[in-house]
C-alpha cells in the first residue's frame, strides 16, 4: 500500500509490518470484521422479533398456537446450539430449493431425494448456477442470519416469556377492571412493563450472541476465523510476497483480544442501560439506586 513497500530494504525492518498488514488479503480480513458486526446488527433485532412472536404464541389461548410457541422455546434448549447451526443451514437451503422446485418445475416427476443426492431442477437452484460470485456469498450470509435468528429467537422467546410472566398480575387485573380488551391490556400494560424484567436475560443473550459469532465459520462464511487461519498459516516466498512461518497463534490471540474488547464495551453499555431502566422502578435494582442517591 505504501510506496516504500516496493523497496526491498524494508524487509527485516519494522516498517515491513506496515506493508504486511495493509496488503490485499488483510483488507479482506478487516472486511470480515464488518461482516461479524453486520451479522450482530441484523440478527439482534430479527431474533428479538422471532422471540417476541414465540413468546406471544406461547401465551396464546388457542392451544395449537401455544403448543407451537412452547415447543419452539423448549426445543432449542437441551441440545447443543452448534448442532442447530449445522442442521438449519442445510435444512433451510433444501427447504427453499424444494419450495422453488414445486413452484417452478411442476412437470418434474423424478423424486428429489435419490439415494444420497438432493436433486432439484436447474431453475430452482439457489442461487442460480449462472449468478455471480457475490450472489452466492450474500445467499450464504442470508442463510446464516436466518439460522442465528431462529436459534437466538428461541432463547429470546424464553427470556421474554419469563419477562411477561414477571409483570405483577395486579397490573393486568387493574387494566381489566378499567374495561380494556385483551389486546389493549397486552400492548398498553404488559409490553411496556416487561422490558425491565427481561433486560438482564436479554443482555446475557447479547453476550452469548457475541460469543456465538465465530460459529459463522462453520456455516461456510469467510469470516474472521477463516481469514485468521488462512493468513496465519505458513507462507513461503514462492507463493506470496510476504513469507512467514506459522503465525496462526498470533492471529487467534488478536481475535481473542477483539472479543474481550467487545465484551467489555457491551458490559459497560448494558450496565448504563440497566441503570437508566431501573430508575424509579419498584425493583431491588431501583431501590439500590434510590439508596445510593439519598445516602
Partner 1 sequence: MSCLQTIQDYGLRSVGLGERLLPKSDFTLCEQFTLIGSGMIWNVYFGIMALATGFFLATALALGKASPNKWLRKPSEWFIFLFRGSPLFIQFFFAYFFFLSLKKSYPMFDAFTSAWLGALIVLFLNTAAYTGEIFYGALRSIPKGDIEAADAYGMSGWSRFRRVIWPTMLRLAWPAYTNEAIFLFHATTLVFFSAFPAWQQRGDALYYASYFADKTFNPFVPYPILAFYFILLTLVIVWGFGQFNKRLNKHLPATKQIKMKFRLNLAR
Residues that bind partner 1 (CB under 8 A): 77-83, 86-87, 90-91, 94, 113, 115-118, 155, 158-159, 162, 201, 204-205, 208, 210-215, 217-218, 225, 228-229, 232, 246, 248-249, 252-253, 255-256, 259-260, 263-264
**C-beta of 169: minimal distance to partner 1 in Å?**
19
**C-beta of 84: minimal distance to partner 1 in Å?**
8
Nearer to partner 1, 186 or 254 (CB): 254
Widest CA span in the chain: 84
Nearer to partner 1, 173 or 246 (CB): 246
Nearer to partner 1, 48 or 189 (CB): 48
Q: Which distant-in-sequence residues (6+ apart) come within 8 Å of 231 by Cβ?
A: 25, 26, 29, 247, 251
**C-beta of 218: minimal distance to partner 1 in Å?**
6
Nearer to partner 1, 185 or 201 (CB): 201
Q: Find cell 445510593 and name the residue.
A: 292
Q: Which three cell numbers stand for residue 175?
A: 387494566
Residues 149 and 43: beta-carbon distance below 8 Å? yes
Angle among Cα 139, 227, 214 to the nearest 5 degrees reads: 65
**C-beta of 165: minimal distance to partner 1 in Å?**
12
H or E element at residue 256:
helix 248-278
Residues 17 and 39: beta-carbon distance below 8 Å? no
**C-beta of 257: minimal distance to partner 1 in Å?**
8
CA distance 230 to 209: 24
In degrees rounded to 5, what are phi and psi of residue 220?
85, 20
Nearer to partner 1, 19 or 205 (CB): 205
Amino acid at each position: 500500500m505504501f510506496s516504500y513497500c516496493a523497496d526491498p530494504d524494508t524487509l527485516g525492518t519494522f516498517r515491513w509490518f506496515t506493508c504486511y498488514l495493509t496488503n490485499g488479503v488483510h483488507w479482506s480480513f478487516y472486511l470480515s470484521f464488518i461482516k461479524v458486526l453486520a451479522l450482530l446488527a441484523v440478527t439482534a433485532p430479527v431474533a428479538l422479533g422471532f422471540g417476541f412472536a414465540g413468546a406471544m404464541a406461547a401465551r396464546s389461548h388457542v392451544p395449537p398456537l401455544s403448543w407451537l410457541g412452547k415447543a419452539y422455546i423448549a426445543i432449542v434448549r437441551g441440545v447443543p446450539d452448534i448442532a442447530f447451526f449445522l442442521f438449519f443451514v442445510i435444512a433451510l437451503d433444501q427447504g427453499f430449493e424444494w419450495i422453488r422446485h414445486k413452484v417452478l418445475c411442476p412437470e418434474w416427476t423424478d423424486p428429489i431425494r435419490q439415494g444420497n443426492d438432493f436433486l432439484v431442477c436447474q431453475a430452482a437452484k439457489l442461487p442460480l448456477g449462472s449468478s455471480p460470485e457475490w450472489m452466492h456469498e450474500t445467499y450464504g450470509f442470508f442463510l446464516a442470519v436466518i439460522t442465528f435468528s431462529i436459534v437466538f429467537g428461541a432463547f429470546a422467546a424464553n427470556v421474554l416469556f419469563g419477562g411477561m410472566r414477571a409483570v405483577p398480575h395486579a397490573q393486568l387485573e387493574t387494566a381489566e377492571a378499567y374495561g380494556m380488551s385483551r389486546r389493549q391490556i397486552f400492548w398498553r400494560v404488559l409490553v411496556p412493563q416487561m422490558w425491565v424484567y427481561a433486560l438482564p436475560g436479554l443482555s446475557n443473550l447479547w453476550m452469548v450472541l457475541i460469543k456465538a459469532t465465530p460459529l459463522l465459520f462453520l456455516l461456510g462464511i469467510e469470516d474472521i476465523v477463516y481469514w485468521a487461519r488462512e493468513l496465519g498459516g505458513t507462507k513461503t516466498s514462492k507463493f506470496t510476497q510476504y513469507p512467514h512461518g506459522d503465525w496462526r497463534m498470533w492471529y487467534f490471540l488478536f481475535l481473542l483480544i477483539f472479543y474481550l474488547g467487545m465484551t467489555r464495551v457491551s458490559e459497560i453499555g448494558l450496565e448504563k442501560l440497566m441503570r437508566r431502566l431501573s430508575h424509579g422502578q419498584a425493583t431491588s435494582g431501583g431501590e439500590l439506586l434510590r439508596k445510593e442517591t439519598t445516602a
